[in-house]
A = this chain, B = another copy of it.
Amino acid sequence: MNIKEYMSRIGQEARKASRVMAKANTAVKNQALAAIAAAIRRDAENLLQANEKDLAAARANGLEAALLDRLTLTPSGIATMAEGLEQIAALPDPVGEVTNLKYRPSGIQVGQMRVPLGVIGIIYEARPNVTVDAAGLCIKSGNATILRGGSEAIHCNQALAALVQEGLASAGLPETAVQVVKTTDRAAVGELITMPDYVDVIVPRGGKGLIERLMRDSRVPMIKHLDGICHVYIDDSADREKALAVSFNAKCQRYGTCNTMETLLVSRHVAPEILPALATLYEAEKVELRCDETAMKILAGYPWLNAATEEDWQTEYLAPVLAIRVVDGLDQAIDHINTWSSQHTDAIITENYSHAQRFLREVDSASVMVNASTRFADGFEYGLGAEIGISNDKLHARGPVGLDGLTSQKYVVLGHGEIRK
């Protein structure tokens, strides 16, 4: 069987399974999630061995340290996976919820029912925990899923797949509701993103390069995340303590996450006072500052100071580097953000009610914040319980995507024999 036939068969099985999953009731889905969690705990030792095989091969192939780190399973990581499934089981079932059911003048009642999307294809890097998280979210939301993880994690992913399928079967659900692609051939990805008959949506997780490539070739809609060029704007009426705390936290709490601040905008009126105070905080963390002309002057003498170019306004550093621009005020800040932001998460620090209102309304990003750290842009912090990813798209779902984002709404009409006049 060639790759095309193999993927096509997986697709057909997924489509069939999706019909069963769509009508599975809440208790059965939760039972499957609990069974998978139990199986993962039971087989922790086997999973570590499978992971060791992947790690050995990865080391032999000279995989870089950061990737090895993501690939590594630990006993506590395994426990976290199992707990994650139990948390998903505890979330309310989104499927079947009917909202806005209202009588119309014709006599019919019209409402909307939340329903699964169908078959979700997930393409991700060599991170075994994604296999379990994604499977759990898709099961709970009544979808079938096809998982294509990084080839470096193939042994571990296959071992996890077996446990997921065991759990599904024990609850009487089709094992094919979660299928992990068994081949490491890259052609499998090409097939997965061009089977609109079998796959309803693709969720790619990975670097910008991978996602841009998938966007070019995909014939299936995507819920995708490109990059996080997040801004904090310190308004002229900002509270000094909030400005310092949030600007430091947004940059330094973690460098490698997509909701980390990459550009700081400061109003001209407060820049001379606030920037030196902030620099003291950043200096302790050895943060490099890439500044526009005005900020350069204010911060003269800072040990890691460099002039910013336009390139800096569009760079996601994911590192202890921060671009700084001094702006005339709110208008210029909003303009800068709507021009350069990746529309992920942007925050204003202000005590001015009207400025807060305008920022919330006019900044066109998935998450817009007042007086809070951009680091809060996260499914757990937002109360979604879990997330399959963060969407930079405008259609369907913006920002953190949880169970609701893996569903859609159909119209339901309850009639009593009505006909159209």
Task: List A residues at the B interface (Cβ < 8 Å).
Answer: 19, 22-23, 96, 102, 104, 106, 108, 110, 113, 115, 117-118, 200-201, 215, 219, 221, 223, 239, 241-242, 245-246, 248-250, 253, 338, 347, 358, 360-362, 364-373, 375-377, 381-383, 393-396, 398-400, 408-420
Q: Which residue of B lies closest to A110 (CB)?
A: B382
B residues near A420, Cβ cutoff 8 Å: 249, 253, 373, 375-376, 381
Contact between chains at A419 and B381 (CB < 8 Å): no
Say which residue of B358, B367, B410 sits within 8 Å of A399 (CB atoms).
B410
Beyond A250-B419, A375-B420, A399-B411, 6 additional pairs, beta carbon < 8 A: A108-B369, A108-B381, A115-B364, A117-B394, A364-B410, A395-B396
> Which A-B residue pairs are the 8 nearest by beta carbons?
A372-B415, A249-B419, A242-B417, A375-B420, A369-B413, A371-B415, A396-B396, A367-B411
Q: A96-B361, A117-B395, A361-B96 are in contact. Are A413 and B368 (CB under 8 A)?
A: yes
Instruction: Report copies per complex.
Output: 2
Q: A22-B362, A104-B382 are in contact. Are A411 and B417 (CB under 8 A)?
A: no
Interchain nearest-CB distance for A393 vs B (Å): 7
Say which residue of B22, B361, B370 sits within 8 Å of A413 (CB atoms).
B370
Q: Can you name 5 A-B pairs with beta carbons within 8 Å?
A: A104-B383, A248-B419, A367-B412, A368-B411, A373-B419
Contact between chains at B419 and A375 (CB < 8 Å): yes
CA A135 to CA B349, docked complex, whole Å: 37
Interchain nearest-CB distance for A310 vs B (Å): 17
Interchain nearest-CB distance for A377 vs B (Å): 7
Contact between chains at B418 and A373 (CB < 8 Å): yes
Interchain nearest-CB distance for A413 vs B (Å): 4
Interchain nearest-CB distance for A120 vs B (Å): 11
Q: Which residue of B lies closest to A420 (CB)?
A: B375
Q: Which residue of B lies closest to A98 (CB)?
A: B360
B residues near A361, Cβ cutoff 8 Å: 22-23, 96, 113
Contact between chains at A23 and B362 (CB < 8 Å): yes
CA A420 to CA B248, docked complex, whole Å: 11
Say which residue of B364, B369, B414 sits within 8 Å of A22 (CB atoms).
B364
Interchain nearest-CB distance for A370 vs B (Å): 5
Say which residue of B201, B394, B410 sits within 8 Å of A368 (CB atoms).
B410
Contact between chains at A398 and B408 (CB < 8 Å): yes
B residues near A382, Cβ cutoff 8 Å: 104, 110, 411
B residues near A117, Cβ cutoff 8 Å: 394-395
Q: Which residue of B lies closest to A220 (CB)?
A: B395
B residues near A371, Cβ cutoff 8 Å: 414-418
CA A135 to CA B149, docked complex, whole Å: 45
CA A361 to CA B400, docked complex, whole Å: 27
CA A178 to CA B351, docked complex, whole Å: 37
